[in-house]
Amino acid sequence: MTTQLAGLASGFDWNAFVDTIMQLERAPISRIETEIVENTIESNSLLTLNTYMSSLQTAVKALEDENAFSNRTATLTDSTSTWGVQAAAGTANGTTTINVSKLATTARLEGASNRGTSLASTSDVSGVSLATMGTSITPTAGVFTINGAQVTVDLADSLQDVFTAINTATGGAVTASYNATTDQVELAGTGTIVLGAANDTSNFLAALRLNNNGTNAVSSSGSLGALSLYATLDSGRFDSAITAVDGNGVGTFSINGVDISYDVDTDSLNAVLQRINDSTAGVTASYDSVADRVVLQNDVTGDIGIAVSETAGGLMDALGLTGSATLVAGTNAEFTVNGGSTRVATSNTLGADQHGVTGLSITADATGTQTVTIAADTAGMRQKIDSFIEAFNGVQRFIESESAIVSSDGNVTTSTLSGNREVQDWATALRRAVFEAVPGLENSVSRLESMGIDFLSGTSELSVTDESKLTNALENNADDVATFFQQSSDGFVANLTVLLDNYLGVNGGDGQLETQRTNLADANKSLEQQIEDIERRLEQRRELLEASFIAMEQAQSKLQQMQTHLNNAFPSTGSSSGQS
C-alpha cells in the first residue's frame, strides 16, 4: 500500500475515496463470510445431534443384550442372613427352601508334635545361649518379673545364667531347672509363684512357655525345642535326621500324587512349605509353632483324604506326616430341599447338581433354614427401557428445537436446522419406527403401547403412560418383551438399528449425518477460496487506482510548477506600470 500523501497537489483526498470504493466492492465478501458462519453453526449443531444419536444407539444396543430381559434376582427371606445367593440369566422364577443341618469342613493331616530337637540332652544348660537355644519364640533382652522381683537378661546369657538370676532376684524363694526328659523348664517355689508384670520388657516367660497356675510349681506348657523355619533343612534342628536323600542331598516326597523335591543343603522348611502350597496337590501346608508340627489342610471342603508318601527317613518322616500323622476328617454338608430327604454335598456352595434348580447357586456359611426367591430383574429391565426413552426423547427435543420456526407479530424467526428437511425427516422416521408394531407377533407384547409406553399427547416424546401395564409385562411376560425388542430381522431393535446405522454410519463409514457435515466443510472451503480470490482482485484494483491518482498528482504538480515559472518569467503588466 502506498505511503503517498493524497491531495498535496490536487487538494483531493483520494485515499479516502479509494477506501470507500474498496469497501463498496467488499460487499460480496461480507455476504460470503455470513454464509460461512451459518454453515459452521449448522455443522456444530449436527455434531451435537451426532452425540444425541450416538446415545440413542447405545441405549438401543442395550435392549439387544441377550440377558437384558432374562436376568434374575435371588433374594433370601431373611434379609440379615449372610448366605450368598446368585441366579443366572434364565433361571426359573419361584421359591426354594433350603435347610442346612451341617456345614462342610476341610480335612487336615496333622504331623506329629515336637519335631524339633530338645534344648539340651542333659539338665546342664550352661552352654545353651538365649540367642541360639532354638525355641519357637526367640527371647528378647530386658527384664521380666517373678514374685515381684525383676530379673534382667541379655541374649548373650546362658539359660543357666538366667536360672541363677531368678534364684538371686527372689532371694532363693524360686529355683529354676531344665528337665531334659520333657524338654521343659521347671520352677519350684517356697510358696505360690507369681509370674510377670505390666512393665516387663523381656518376653522370656512367653518364650519358655511359663504361665501362672496358682501353685508353687510351674513348668513349660510344652516342649521347648522347635524346628527352624528359615535355616537350611540340614541345620533346621530336626529331632529326627533326614537321611532318605541322594548324594547331593536331594529328596522327593508325594502329596496326593504330586511329587515335590527338596534339597537339605539349600532349602529351608519355609521354602518347602511354600513349594507345597504352590503345587497342584490341593493342600495348604503350615507350621504350628505352639505344637511344633506341620499341618496339611485340604483346599476344598468335604470328607476327602490327604495322601502323603516318601521313603522312610525322608523329610515327611522327620515331620511326622507319614506313619505318626493324624488325619482329622472333613465333613460333608447335609441339607434338605423343600422339606425333602437329607442330601449330602462336599461343598457349602450348592448348585443345580445338589439342589436341582438350574442356574441357582447358594453358598451357606451357617446352619439353618432359608427360602430363596427367584424373580425377574425388573429393575434392570426398566433401567434399560428408561434409558432408551430418555435417549429417544433427547434426539426428538434437539431436532425440534433446532428446526423450530416461530412467528410473532408478523415476524418469522428460524432456527439453525429450519431449512434442513433431511434432518427433520430423520426425526419423523424414528417416531414412525418406534410407533409401529413388530410383525408376526401373536403374544401379549407386539408394540410399545402393549407395555404402557406411548407418545405424550401433542409431543414427539415417549413416556410410560401406564406404569402397571409395564410392570406386569416385565414381571410376567419378560420373554415376550425380549422377543418384541430382539426379533432378529424386523424386531424393534433391528428396525431402529437400520435407521441409526444410516444416520451414523457403520464399520468406520460415514453416515448421512457426517456426510452433511462434510458437505458443509467442503462448501466453506469453496467460500473461503472465493474470498481469497476477491481479496486478490481488490488488492489489484486498489493498486491500479492508487497508481492512477498518484500519476494525477504528479501531473498536476508539474503543471503548478510550470505555472509558477511562467508567472515569474512574465510578470503581470499592472505590476510593472506601478513600479515606473
Amino acid at 149: A
CA distances for 292 relative to 182, 183, 253, 288, 349, angstroms: 14, 13, 20, 6, 34
Enumerate residues 6+ apart whose C-beta is below 8 A from 56. Answer: 388, 391, 392, 394, 395, 500
Exposed, middle or buried by CB within 10 Å (0-12, 13-18, 19+), for 120? buried
For residue 536, the model assigns a pLDDT of 85
Q: Which residue has the higher pLDDT, 552 or 353?
A: 353
Is pLDDT of 578 > 80? Answer: no
For residue 301, the model assigns a pLDDT of 97
**Distance from C-alpha of 420 to C-alpha of 451, rounded to nearest angstrom:** 34
Q: How far is CA 258 from the centre of its chain?
A: 37
Is pLDDT of 5 > 60? Answer: no
- Taking the whole predicted model, whether its pTM rises above 0.95 is answered as no
For residue 414, the model assigns a pLDDT of 84
Please answer whether residues 284 and 299 qualify as being in contact, where contact means their C-beta atoms are separated by less than 8 angstroms: yes
What value does the mean pLDDT of the chain take? 91
- Residue 413's beta-bridge partner residues? 406
Structure confidence by residue, pLDDT tens digits, 486-506: 988 889 999 999 999 999 998
For residue 577, the model assigns a pLDDT of 46
**Mean pLDDT, residues 47-57:** 96
Q: By percentage, how much of the chain surpasses pLDDT 70?
A: 96
Please answer whether residues 300 and 346 qualify as being in contact, where contact means their C-beta atoms are separated by less than 8 angstroms: yes
Is pLDDT of 280 > 80? Answer: yes
Structure confidence by residue, pLDDT tens digits, 441-473: 877 899 999 999 999 998 999 999 999 999 999
* Confidence band for 39, pLDDT divided at 50, 70 and 90: very high
For residue 573, the model assigns a pLDDT of 57
* Confidence band for 338, pLDDT divided at 50, 70 and 90: very high
Is pLDDT of 172 > 50? Answer: yes
The set of cell numbers assigned to 419 is: 431449512
Structure confidence by residue, pLDDT tens digits, 112-133: 999 999 999 999 999 999 999 9
Is pLDDT of 542 > 80? Answer: no
